[in-house]
Structure 1
Amino acid sequence: MPANDRLTIWGRPNSVNVQKVLWCLAELDVAFARIDAGMQFGRNGEADYLAMNPNGRIPTLVDGDFVLWESNAIMRYLCLAHGGETPLYPAMPRHRAAVERWLDWTLSTVQPIERPLFWGLVRTPPEQRDMIALQKAADDAAAMWRILDAHLAARLYVEAERFTLADIALGAYARRWFGVEGVVKPELPNLLGWYRRIAQRPAFIRHVAPPLS
């Protein structure tokens, strides 16, 4: 792998986990380089990449001689190492813990439930789609999103009135929920209002809003 003193992100731009990190970097106004890796770009199965990230997954961050994988861990690191007193990652223990739970929820709950729906509707040819199974996947995802919809009833953002890492982590997946077509989805007005707010952010428009692929 080429040496580079600049902060570097390995990963393709249409990966939801890479998008979270790119969005975070843009919110923090941190300069970085990105190297395509994963799916059609390959590289993540090569020995040099596996030496950095033995999972062979993306993204991977390289910051000087420091290497880090797992997207939510990367976002936390960026805030701590490059964010100063950023409101993205609150310092007060209760406020930080409240943000952390949503970061964990994206991995324990959102990602496993969202993945079959996204892959089935976006990365599977139409003639190979099982629409009955995909509607069931949409119903499962809707039940999950109702939790956040209820939570947002009296909030502008996921935690309190300020934009945080919780909004980034969940917003990247909400982009997929609102972007997929071909299944019946319920009206979730609080979720939609929040999504429209965060979707106006320049970093979202640049790194998350492009067409799903």
Structure 2
Amino acid sequence: MLKIWGRTNSVNVKKVMWAVEELGIPYERTDAGGAFGLVNDDAYRAMNPNGLVPLIKDGDVVVWESNAIVRYLAAKHGAGTLWADDPAERAMGDKWMDWPTSSLAGPFRDVFWNMVRIAPQNRDNAAVEHGKAACGTLFSRVDRALADHPYLSGDTFRMGDIPLGCFAYGWFEMSIERPNLPHLSAWYDRISKRPAFQKAVALPLT
């Protein structure tokens, strides 16, 4: 059975859990990271030297890095659903897989940590405003990309929608002002109705 390590309030762990639920893969999950610790234990570090979550073990195969895990699971279990066999079709969504981490995660973290994980009296309001402005600019690029297709992966929901979808949940559920981006909002409305999203991603923000 697939084994997963990670805490459910981690955006990176949510990516993996969403993919697993979409694919209907039986799994066992162990809380790890944050308050749960475990990630610095020798046994864990032997599997993931970075000491981060998520981590999976599928038989003898060990994979870390959330997007790599989603790709692995989609390739193994998701032919015709999360995984497009045609390389060009697959690339349409795949190009968005790492974009949230490389471009969005920094300013998003400034907003999320201050609005969700830091007491109001201790918030860095300047960081919040700067992060909101940066995220708004970045999400406007997504909005333009969604003008011609219902999903980042094209006409069909696939793995390319999962990473950004997990960030989008936090963006739309935080009590903040957001720019009006109709295509982004329509995409979020579509993905948020998926049962797997509701089970794995739509959890209280903590």
Equivalent of residue 160 in structure 2, options 160, 166, 172: 166
Quick one: distance in 1 between partners of 2:42 and 2:147?
48
- Alpha-carbon shift at residue 95 of structure 1 (Å): 1.2
Aligned to 1:193: 186
The question of whether the paired residues in 1 share the 8 Å contact of 2:39 and 2:45 is answered with yes
For residue 207 of structure 1, report the CA deviation from its aligned partner: 0.8
Q: After TM superposition, give the deviation of residue 159 of structure 1 in Å.
A: 2.4
Cα distance, 1:25 vs. partner? Answer: 0.6
Distance 1:103 1:161 in 2: 16
CA distance in 2: counterparts of 1:56 and 1:125, whole angstroms: 27
- The answer (yes or no) to whether the contact 2:54–2:65 under 8 Å persists in 1 is yes
CA contact (8 A) 1:146 1:188 kept: yes
Q: Percent identity?
A: 43
Instruction: Give me the whole-angstrom Cα distance separating, in 1, the residues matched to 2:89 and 2:144.
Output: 19
Match of 1:175 in 2: 169
Conservation of the 8 A alpha-carbon contact between 1:79 and 1:86: no
Shift of residue 130, structure 1, vs aligned partner: 1.6
**TM-score normalised by the chain length of structure 2:** 0.96
Post-superposition offset of 1:185: 1.8
What amino acid does structure 1 have at the position aligned with 2:21?
A
- Are residue 89 (structure 1) and residue 83 (structure 2) matched? yes
2:146 counterpart SS class: helix
Deviations 1:154-174 (A, max 9, x none): 221112210011111111010
**RMSD of aligned alpha carbons:** 1.1
- Aligned residues of 2:107 and 2:130 also touching (Cα < 8 A): no
Unaligned runs of 5+ in 1: 1-5
Normalising by structure 1, what TM-score? 0.93
- Whether the 8 Å CA contact 2:22–2:196 is kept in 1: the answer is yes
Aligned to 2:204, which of 200, 203, 211? 211
For residues 52-131 of structure 1, the aligned pairs below 5 Å read 52-83=47-78, 85-131=79-125
Task: Give, in angstroms, the shift of residue 113 of structure 1.
Answer: 2.6
Alpha-carbon distance in structure 2 between the residues aligned to 1:103 and 1:116: 21
Taking the aligned partners of 1:161 and 1:12, their CA distance within structure 2 comes to 32
Equivalent-residue separation in structure 2 for 1:107 and 1:71 (angstroms):
10
SS at match of 2:29: strand
Secondary structure (helix, strand or coil) at the match of 2:63 reads strand
Find out whether 1:51 has 2:46 as its counterpart: yes
Shift in Å, 1:132: 2.4
Letter of the structure 1 residue corresponding to residue 184 of structure 2: L
Aligned to 1:17: 12
Structure 2 unmatched ranges of 5 or more: none
2:34 to 39, 52, 67: 39
Q: Is the 8 A contact 2:74 2:159 kept in 1?
A: no
Q: Matched residues in 2 for 1:157 and 1:106: separation? A: 15
Q: Which amino acid aligns with 2:31?
A: D
CA shift digits 1:120-141 (9 cap, x unpaired): 1111111110212211110111
The one-letter amino acid paired with 1:209 is A
How far did residue 104 of structure 1 move?
A: 2.0
Across the two proteins, how many residue pairs are aligned to each other? Answer: 206
Q: Structure 2 CA distance, aligned partners of 1:158 and 1:81?
A: 21
